[in-house]
Amino acid sequence: MKHTLVALVQDKPGVLNRVASLFRRRAFNIESLTVGHTDQPHVSRMTIVIDSDNTSAQLVEANLAKLVNVIDIQDVTQQETISRDLALIKVRVDAAGRAEIAQLAEIFRAKIVDVANDSVVVEATGDEDKIDGLVELLRPKGILEMVRTGRIAMVRGNQARKNTNGHYNGNGNGNGHVARDVGVSSV
């Protein structure tokens, strides 16, 4: 089963290295990892997707929580989330075939963002299944090149996954996050 973890980390040199090094050292298998800015200065946000069939989500979460530079970490798999993947797909197509590609793109609410003599670049945004669907349809046409960002995710509603003042204040306010409990298996 796919798990999505969202982490807020200090935006400092070496932090990404610490996260990557942890995954390597513990032999955690990561499906995707995205990093980007947040609304808060000095805080980056990571979305980490793992397949819990081969890597325990609970252990990944607990290990990340031990990294000093990690401000928050939560497994949002069980929550209602919006998740998005962005893809740029370069497809081989001559002038005659363009219309068909444009039509396909339209169905997927994707855009054609570049047109050349013998190719177009399609930009698509959506959850991964949708992108996968588009990719499968385009593949027979001849995909020349593709890049995908990997999943980014956000919980719906007004539960904000951030700390209020942009600098960790140690008071534990900001997101109603209760202290962690690793849970009980069968007793």
Partner 1 sequence: MPKLAGAQILWECLVREGVDTVFGYPGGAILPSYDAMLQYPIHHVLVRHEQGASHMADGYARASGRVGVCVGTSGPAATNMVTGLATAMMDSIPVVAITGQVGTKVIGSDAFQETDVTGVTLPVTKHNYLVTHVEDLAETIREAFYIARHGRPGPVLIDIPKDVQLAQTEFEYPTHPIHLPNERLLEKYVPQEYFARAAEMIAAAERPVILAGHGILLSGAMDEVMEFAEKTNTPIALTLLGIGGFPAEHPLCLGMMGMHGGVYVNEAIQNADLLLAMGMRFDDRVTGTLKTYSPHSKKIHFEIDPTEINKNVKVDLPLLGDLKESLTKLNPLVRAKRHDAWWEHLRRAMQADPIRDVLDWESPDGLMSEHVVHDIWTATQGDAIVVTDVGQHQMWEVQYYLHNKPHTLITSGGLGTMGFALPAAIGAKFAQPDKEVWVIAGDGGFQMTMAELATIVQEKIKINVAILNNGYLGMVRQWQEFFYDARYCATPIFSPDFAKVADAYGIPGYVVENRDDVMPILDEVRASPGPAVIEFRVKMEDAVYPMVPAGASLHEMIKREKVPQSV
Residues that bind partner 1 (CB under 8 A): 10, 14, 17-18, 21, 25, 56, 58-59, 62-63, 65-73, 168-170, 172, 177-187
Contact between 48 and 32 (Cβ < 8 Å) = yes
Query: Based on CB atoms, which residue is closest to partner 1, 96 or 179?
Result: 179
Contact between 40 and 162 (Cβ < 8 Å) = yes
- Residue whose pair of structure tokens reads 């990093």 in the numeric block: 35
The distance of closest approach from Cβ of residue 180 to partner 1 in the complex, given in angstroms and rounded to an integer, is: 7
Query: Based on CB atoms, which residue is closest to partner 1, 17 or 78?
Result: 17
In 3-state terms, what secondary structure has residue 86? strand
Query: Based on CB atoms, which residue is closest to partner 1, 77 or 125?
Result: 77
Contact between 173 and 71 (Cβ < 8 Å) = no
Reference 109, options 90, 139, 91, 133; nearest CA is: 133
The distance of closest approach from Cβ of residue 12 to partner 1 in the complex, given in angstroms and rounded to an integer, is: 10
The distance of closest approach from Cβ of residue 185 to partner 1 in the complex, given in angstroms and rounded to an integer, is: 6
d(CA 85, CA 63): 26
d(CA 169, CA 67): 17
Sign of CA dihedral 48, 4, 54, 59: positive
The distance of closest approach from Cβ of residue 168 to partner 1 in the complex, given in angstroms and rounded to an integer, is: 5
The distance of closest approach from Cβ of residue 38 to partner 1 in the complex, given in angstroms and rounded to an integer, is: 14
The distance of closest approach from Cβ of residue 179 to partner 1 in the complex, given in angstroms and rounded to an integer, is: 3
What are the backbone dihedrals phi and psi of residue 85, each rounded to the nearest 5 degrees, phi first? -130, 140
Query: Based on CB atoms, which residue is closest to partner 1, 140 or 170?
Result: 170
Strand order in the sheet with 43-51: 30-37, 43-51, 2-10, 70-75
Query: Based on CB atoms, which residue is closest to partner 1, 60 or 138?
Result: 60
